[in-house]
Each structure stands twice: as C-alpha cells, then as structure tokens.
Amino acid sequence: MASQSVSSGGSKRSLVIILAVIAVLALILGILWMSGSAPSFLDSGSHVKSGGHIFRGIAGLVVAIVCGAGAWWANKK
C-alpha cells in the first residue's frame, strides 16, 4: 500500500510539472502569434504567410488557460 501512494505522488507531481510547462509555453506562443512577432519556423506550414495569426494566438491562450487550470487542479487534490 505504501509503495502505491509514493508512486502515485510522483506521477502526480510530474503531471503538474508537465502541465505547467505546457501552459507557460502556450502562453508565450499565444502572445507571440497575437503580436505578429512569431518566429518564421512556427509559420512554415501555414497557408497564411502574413498577418497576426489571431486565431492561433487565441488557441495558444486557451491551451495555456486549460493546462494551467489542470495543473492547479491536479496539485490541489
């Protein structure tokens, strides 16, 4: 029983860290896309070659909020 609680605690911590890192990266990318200063390698497969990519920026911010909330919720329990 004790080994199960230790292993689940470690996996919970790693889940929180992974979600937090994804949230921070998505927030940075969302801000870069919305400001129009995203690096060119992020737009390599895009059909839209100019502009602010507002939809990608909004999607990045939504992913950041969802992952941040997931990390907070997983850490809370």
pTM of the model: 0.74
Mean pLDDT, all residues of the chain = 81
Contact 74, 40 (CB under 8 A): no
Six token digits for residue 26 = 């998505």
- Kindly compute the dihedral angle of the four CA atoms of residues 38, 44, 49, 53, in this order, to the nearest 10 degrees: -40
Q: What DSSP letter does each residue of 44-65 carry, written as one string? A: TT-S--SS--HHHHHHHHHHHH
Work out the average pLDDT over 23-41: 86
pLDDT-based confidence at 38, cuts 50/70/90? confident
